[in-house]
Amino acid sequence: MPYVKKQDNKNFELYYEDFGTGQPIILIHGWPLSGKSWELQIPVLLELGYRVITYDRRGFGKSAPTLDGYDYNVLASDLHEIISQLELKNVILFGFSMGGGEVVRYLTNYGTENVDKIALISSIIPIVKQKEDNPDGVPEADLNDIMDHLKKDRVTFLETFHKNFYNYGLLSQTVSQAQLNYDWNIASCASPIATIKCAESWANTDFRPEMQNVTVKTLIVHGDDDKIVPIATAGKQAAQGIPDNDFFVIEGAPHGLNVTHTDKLNNILVNFLTT
């Protein structure tokens, strides 16, 4: 299996999958899943003639966990290792949910010279937490409740979380039970340390000062019924703060719109890449 490794760090192993030829697109997954979450987008991107690369964030999927290194500076450096070791040029970066943070921090720390364009999908950019100057964010008490549940009964919490991920309920069964089981299996097998520390990172990082560093063409896609990362604190603010962007709101879409609204999302991605 392909891994990106560092000779001076025996604990560093990032699992990746690499398909196709042409201009590279790197797909960065959300929390608490893995590169498998892009399953419904990969075939479309390959048909367009792109080289499509997914990787599992450290501690998730098949990538090795570490004790620390889950802040966005380190996570962006992991992305940099992927790009450097695979010798990728003129890269397109797609970040879903938490993955949007790696994309923006990468541009902040490494610049835009080797990046063609980016997409932020259901992204946490620019901020999740409710603050005095961000009244539409998620209340700190709710975020603390997530952390408490992760520490006390992570696997049970994840079952409920993925229902909220898709706005799944008795009257609105937006995905199959098999999809919920699949996501729970991926998430529950992730490192508990990675799961908790990554949640702390996406909940507490304020990317608003970094939006000025996003100077490449940007696609922003968000659902207006996202109950995990509300559109008012994320997509709308990102669209206001990033200069050169196309902003698409998918009506009625939850956080996991890559599954519930696959055709709509894929059509938006195709138009973004071909125009």
Distance of alpha carbon 17 from alpha carbon 170, whole angstroms? 36
97 has catalytic annotation:
yes
Check if the beta carbon of residue 213 is closer than 8 Å to that of residue 222. no
Cβ contacts of 240 within 8 Å, gap of 6 or more: none
Q: Is 29 a catalytic residue?
A: no
Which is the catalytic residue, given 97, 122, 123, 191? 97
Separation of alpha carbons 168 and 264, rounded Å = 19
Annotation says 176 is catalytic: no
Phi/psi of residue 115, nearest 5 degrees: -115, 125
**Which run of H or of E encompasses 9?**
strand 9-19
Residue in 56, 78, 183, 226 annotated catalytic = 226
- Half-sphere exposure at residue 115, Cβ-oriented, CA atoms within 13 angstroms: 24
**DSSP of 158-223, one letter per residue?**
HHHHHHHHTT--SS---S-HHHHHHHHHHHHTS-HHHHHHHHHHHHH---GGGGGG--SEEEEEEE
Catalytic residue among 29, 162, 222, 255: 255
The position carrying tokens 């529950």 is 188
Give the catalytic positions in this structure: 97, 226, 255
